[in-house]
Structure 1
Amino acid sequence: MKIKFIGVSDPVYMINGKTYDVISIENGWYRIIDEEGEDYLYPPELFEIVSDETIDD
Structure 2
Amino acid sequence: MKVRYVGKSFGVDSLTNGRVYECLGVELGFLRVIDDSGEDYLYSAYRPAPLDGSSPGGRWEIVEDDSKGTLAKAIHL
Say which one has the larger Rg. 2
Of 37-46 and 14-23, deviating more is: 37-46
Tell me by how many angstroms 1:12 deviates. 2.0
- Cα distance per residue 1:6-57 (max 9 Å; x no partner): 1211242111100111111101210011111221111123211111125xxx
Q: For the aligned residues, what is the CA RMSD?
A: 1.8
Q: Larger relative CO (CA 8 A, sep 6+): 1 or 2?
A: 1
State how 1:2-41 maps to structure 2 within 5 Å: 2-10=2-10, 11-41=12-42
Figure out how many residues of one structure are paired with residues of the other and give that number: 55
Unaligned runs of 5+ in 1: none
Residue identity opposite 2:15 in structure 1: M
**Which structure has greater strand proportion?**
1
TM-score (norm. length: structure 1): 0.78
Q: Which residue of 1 aligns with 2:60?
A: 47
Unaligned runs of 5+ in 2: 47-58, 68-77
Quote the sequence identity (%). Answer: 41
